[in-house]
Structure 1
Amino acid sequence: MPDPAALKNSPHVAYLWNDAEAPSDPVDALVYRSNILGADQRITNTGGGNTSSKVKQKDPLTGEEVDVLWVKGSGGDLRTSKRENFASLSMASLEQLKASYEARSDTGLKTPAEDEQVANYRHCTFDLNPRASSIDTPLHAFLPARHVDHMHPNAVIAVAASKNNQELTQTIWGGRLGWVPWMRPGFELGLLMHEEQKKNPRLEGLLMAAHGLINWHDDARACYDLSLDLIDTAARYIADHDKHEQTFGGAKYRTPGLDEREALLVQVLPWLRGRVSQQQRFIGTVDDRESVLQFVNSHDAARLAELGTSCPDHFLRTKIKPLYVDWDPASGDVDVLKQRLDEGLERYRADYRSYYEACKKPDSPAMRDPNPTVVLIPGLGLIAWGKNKSESRVTAEFYCCAVEVMRGAEAIDAYVGLPQQEAFDIEYWALEEAKLQRMPAEKPLARRVVVVVGAGSGIGRAVAEKLAAQGGHIVSADMKLEAAQETADDLTAAYGQGIGVAGTGVSGCGPATAAAANITDTVSLAGLIKHAVLAYGGIDHLVVTAGVFVPQDPATGQVTPQQWQLTFDVNVRGSYNAVWEMKPVFDAQGLEGSVVLTTSVNAVVAKKGSVAYDCSKAAADHLVRELAVEMSPTVRVNAIAPATVVAGSTMFPRQRVLASLAKYGIEHDAENGKTEDLRNRLAQFYAERTLTHNPIRPEDQAEAAWFLLSDASSRTTGQIIHVDGGLADAFLR
Structure 2
Amino acid sequence: MTQPAQQLKHVTRHWDDSVAAGLDPIERLVYRSNCLGADQRITNTGGGNTSSKLAESDPLSGESTEVLWVKGSGGDLRTSKRDNFSSLYLDKLESLQGVYAAQSERGPKTPAEDAMVAYFSHCTFNLNPRASSIDTPLHGFLPARHVDHMHPNSVIAIAASRNSEKLTREVFGDEIGWVAWLRPGFELGMQMQREAEANPSLRGLVMGQHGLINWADDDKDCYELTLALIEKAAAFIDQRDKGADTFGGQKYVPLGDTQRDSLLGELLPWLRGRVAYQGHRLIGTVQTDAVIQRFVNSHDAPRLAELGTSCPDHFLRTKIKPLYVDWNPATEDPATLKKKLEAGLERYRQDYAEYYERCKHVDSPAMRNPNPAVVLIPGVGMIAWGKNKSESRVTAEFYNCAVEVMRGAEAIDEYIALPQQEAFDIEYWLLEEAKLQRMPAEKALARRVVVVVGAGAGIGRVAAHRLAAEGAHVVCADLNAAAAQQTADELIAKYGQGIGVAGSGVSGCGPAIGVGVNITDRESIRSLLRTATLAYGGVDHLLVTAGVFLAPDREGNLSDDAWRLTFEVNVHGAYNVVDEAKTLFRDQGLVGSVVLTTSVNAVVAKKGSVAYDTSKAAANHLVRELAVELAPLVRVNGVAPATVVEGSTMFPRDRVIASLAKYAIEFEEAESDESLRSKLAQFYAERTLTKQPITPIDQAEAAYFLLSDASSKTTGQVISVDGGLVDAFLR
Fold match (TM-score > 0.5): yes
- Which secondary structure state, in structure 1, belongs to the residue aligned with residue 174 of structure 2? coil
**Partner amino acid for 2:286?**
V
Look up the match of 2:725: 727
Look up the match of 1:114: 113
Aligned-pair distance for 1:500? 4.3
- Which secondary structure state, in structure 2, belongs to the residue aligned with residue 331 of structure 1? coil
Q: 1:504 touches 1:534 (CA, 8 Å); kept in 2?
A: no
Aligned-pair distance for 1:527? 1.1
Look up the match of 1:392: 392
Aligned-pair distance for 1:504? 14
Alignment of 1:350-499 (within 5 A): 350-499=350-499
Look up the match of 2:708: 710
- Once residues 506 and 700 of structure 2 are traced to their aligned partners in structure 1, the CA distance between those partners, rounded to angstroms, is 27
Aligned-pair distance for 1:548? 0.1
Aligned-pair distance for 1:328? 1.0
- Once residues 112 and 710 of structure 1 are traced to their aligned partners in structure 2, the CA distance between those partners, rounded to angstroms, is 43
The count of residues paired between Structure 1 and Structure 2 equals 729
Look up the match of 1:218: 217
- Which secondary structure state, in structure 1, belongs to the residue aligned with residue 122 of structure 2? helix
- Once residues 141 and 564 of structure 1 are traced to their aligned partners in structure 2, the CA distance between those partners, rounded to angstroms, is 76
- Which secondary structure state, in structure 2, belongs to the residue aligned with residue 508 of structure 1? coil
Alignment of 1:666-677 (within 5 A): 666-670=665-669, 672-677=670-675
- Which secondary structure state, in structure 2, belongs to the residue aligned with residue 36 of structure 1? helix
Look up the match of 1:20: 18
Q: 1:143 touches 1:197 (CA, 8 Å); kept in 2?
A: yes
Q: 2:463 touches 2:697 (CA, 8 Å); kept in 1?
A: yes
- Which secondary structure state, in structure 1, belongs to the residue aligned with residue 414 of structure 2? coil
Alignment of 1:9-88 (within 5 A): 10-22=8-20, 23-88=22-87
TM-score, with structure 1 as normaliser? 0.98
Change (3 A) 1:503 1:284: farther
Look up the match of 1:281: 281
Change (3 A) 1:504 1:701: farther
Runs of 4+ aligned structure 1 residues displaced above 4 Å come to: 1-5, 106-109, 500-507
**Partner amino acid for 1:654?**
R
Look up the match of 1:509: 509
Aligned-pair distance for 1:4? 5.1
**Partner amino acid for 1:686?**
Y
1:692 to 690, 695, 715: 690
- Once residues 202 and 506 of structure 2 are traced to their aligned partners in structure 1, the CA distance between those partners, rounded to angstroms, is 46
Aligned-pair distance for 1:106? 4.3
Per-residue CA deviations over 1:501-550 (Å, capped at 9, x if unaligned) read: 59999951001111001111111111101110000000000000000000
Look up the match of 2:122: 123
Q: 1:384 touches 1:393 (CA, 8 Å); kept in 2?
A: yes
Q: 1:109 touches 1:188 (CA, 8 Å); kept in 2?
A: no
- Once residues 277 and 72 of structure 2 are traced to their aligned partners in structure 1, the CA distance between those partners, rounded to angstroms, is 34
- Which secondary structure state, in structure 1, belongs to the residue aligned with residue 54 of structure 2? strand
Per-residue CA deviations over 1:644-665 (Å, capped at 9, x if unaligned) read: 0000000101011011001100
Q: 1:2 touches 1:226 (CA, 8 Å); kept in 2?
A: no
Aligned-pair distance for 1:2? 8.9
Q: 2:287 touches 2:506 (CA, 8 Å); kept in 1?
A: no
- Once residues 323 and 165 of structure 2 are traced to their aligned partners in structure 1, the CA distance between those partners, rounded to angstroms, is 30
Look up the match of 1:260: 259
Per-residue CA deviations over 1:57-103 (Å, capped at 9, x if unaligned) read: 10000000111111001011000000011101111211222222223
TM-score, with structure 2 as normaliser? 0.98
**Partner amino acid for 1:397?**
E
Q: 2:3 touches 2:221 (CA, 8 Å); kept in 1?
A: no
Which 10-residue stretch deviates more, 380-389 or 16-25?
A: 16-25
Q: 2:515 touches 2:528 (CA, 8 Å); kept in 1?
A: yes
- Once residues 646 and 167 of structure 2 are traced to their aligned partners in structure 1, the CA distance between those partners, rounded to angstroms, is 69
- Which secondary structure state, in structure 1, belongs to the residue aligned with residue 396 of structure 2? helix
Change (3 A) 1:278 1:437: closer
- Which secondary structure state, in structure 2, belongs to the residue aligned with residue 178 of structure 1? strand
Change (3 A) 1:538 1:492: same
**Partner amino acid for 1:418?**
L
Alignment of 1:166-181 (within 5 A): 166-181=165-180
- Once residues 56 and 349 of structure 1 are traced to their aligned partners in structure 2, the CA distance between those partners, rounded to angstroms, is 53
**Partner amino acid for 1:198?**
E
Q: 1:254 touches 1:379 (CA, 8 Å); kept in 2?
A: yes
- Once residues 309 and 212 of structure 2 are traced to their aligned partners in structure 1, the CA distance between those partners, rounded to angstroms, is 17
Q: 1:505 touches 1:535 (CA, 8 Å); kept in 2?
A: no
Change (3 A) 1:111 1:370: closer
- Once residues 102 and 254 of structure 2 are traced to their aligned partners in structure 1, the CA distance between those partners, rounded to angstroms, is 59
Look up the match of 1:137: 136
**Partner amino acid for 1:53?**
S
**Partner amino acid for 1:644?**
T
Unaligned runs of 5+ in 1: none
- Once residues 19 and 389 of structure 1 are traced to their aligned partners in structure 2, the CA distance between those partners, rounded to angstroms, is 36
Q: 1:52 touches 1:71 (CA, 8 Å); kept in 2?
A: yes
- Which secondary structure state, in structure 1, belongs to the residue aligned with residue 538 of structure 2? coil
Look up the match of 2:94: 95
Change (3 A) 1:396 1:33: same
- Once residues 543 and 581 of structure 1 are traced to their aligned partners in structure 2, the CA distance between those partners, rounded to angstroms, is 14
**Partner amino acid for 2:131?**
A
Aligned-pair distance for 1:499? 2.7
- Once residues 335 and 130 of structure 2 are traced to their aligned partners in structure 1, the CA distance between those partners, rounded to angstroms, is 51
Aligned-pair distance for 1:3? 6.4
- Once residues 198 and 108 of structure 1 are traced to their aligned partners in structure 2, the CA distance between those partners, rounded to angstroms, is 28
Alignment of 1:549-568 (within 5 A): 549-555=549-555, 557-568=556-567
- Once residues 724 and 329 of structure 1 are traced to their aligned partners in structure 2, the CA distance between those partners, rounded to angstroms, is 55
Q: 1:396 touches 1:501 (CA, 8 Å); kept in 2?
A: no
Q: 2:52 touches 2:146 (CA, 8 Å); kept in 1?
A: yes
**Partner amino acid for 1:427?**
E
Look up the match of 1:152: 151
Aligned-pair distance for 1:108? 12
Which 10-residue stretch deviates more, 510-519 or 330-339?
A: 330-339
Unaligned runs of 5+ in 2: none
- Once residues 505 and 238 of structure 1 are traced to their aligned partners in structure 2, the CA distance between those partners, rounded to angstroms, is 20
Q: 2:397 touches 2:504 (CA, 8 Å); kept in 1?
A: no
Look up the match of 1:229: 228
**Partner amino acid for 1:345?**
L
- Once residues 260 and 551 of structure 2 are traced to their aligned partners in structure 1, the CA distance between those partners, rounded to angstroms, is 46
Aligned-pair distance for 1:681? 0.6
Aligned-pair distance for 1:360? 0.7
- Which secondary structure state, in structure 1, belongs to the residue aligned with residue 451 of structure 2? strand
Which 10-residue stretch deviates more, 262-271 or 106-115?
A: 106-115
Q: 1:287 touches 1:502 (CA, 8 Å); kept in 2?
A: no
Per-residue CA deviations over 1:488-507 (Å, capped at 9, x if unaligned) read: 11111111211345999995
Per-residue CA deviations over 1:160-184 (Å, capped at 9, x if unaligned) read: 0000000000000000110111000
- Which secondary structure state, in structure 2, belongs to the residue aligned with residue 591 of structure 1? coil
- Once residues 500 and 120 of structure 2 are traced to their aligned partners in structure 1, the CA distance between those partners, rounded to angstroms, is 33
- Which secondary structure state, in structure 2, belongs to the residue aligned with residue 71 of structure 1? strand
- Which secondary structure state, in structure 1, belongs to the residue aligned with residue 80 of structure 2? coil
Q: 2:393 touches 2:506 (CA, 8 Å); kept in 1?
A: no
- Once residues 3 and 605 of structure 1 are traced to their aligned partners in structure 2, the CA distance between those partners, rounded to angstroms, is 82
Q: 1:139 touches 1:189 (CA, 8 Å); kept in 2?
A: yes
Look up the match of 1:322: 322
Per-residue CA deviations over 1:105-144 (Å, capped at 9, x if unaligned) read: 2499724222101011111111111000001000000001
- Once residues 732 and 332 of structure 1 are traced to their aligned partners in structure 2, the CA distance between those partners, rounded to angstroms, is 57
Q: 1:455 touches 1:487 (CA, 8 Å); kept in 2?
A: yes
- Once residues 500 and 149 of structure 1 are traced to their aligned partners in structure 2, the CA distance between those partners, rounded to angstroms, is 21
Q: 2:45 touches 2:500 (CA, 8 Å); kept in 1?
A: no
- Once residues 711 and 686 of structure 2 are traced to their aligned partners in structure 1, the CA distance between those partners, rounded to angstroms, is 31
